[in-house]
Amino acid sequence: MRRSGRSRWAETRIPTAQTNEVLAKVLCHNLACIVHAITEFGIDADCAKPSLAAVQP
């Protein structure tokens, strides 16, 4: 996760913008964890494959 010299969680002042900023940081952190797990454990993550529900009529 990105670390900065400031101790504040959000850089914005408006409460809605602060909420959105924190949610975006959480999303980016979770995506980074998923990518790390995929590379560490050698998981074959092919997102282009259609799911079984989409193939069945």
Report the chain (57 residues): mean pLDDT per 10 consecutive residues.
Answer: 58 89 95 94 80 62
Residue 26 lies in a domain: yes
- In a domain? residue 2: no
Q: Is residue 6 part of a domain?
A: no
Alpha-helical segments (H) within the chain: 15-41, 52-55
Whether residue 44 lies inside any domain: the answer is yes
User: Is residue 32 in a domain?
Assistant: yes
For the chain, how many structural domains are there in total? 1
- DSSP character for 50? P
**Is residue 19, in this structure, part of any structural domain at all?**
yes
Q: Is the dihedral of CA 3, 8, 9, 14 positive or negative?
A: negative
Structural domain span for residue 44: 15-55
What's the CA gap between 50 and 12, in Å, rounded? 40
Residue at 28 is within a domain: yes
pLDDT of res. 11: 81
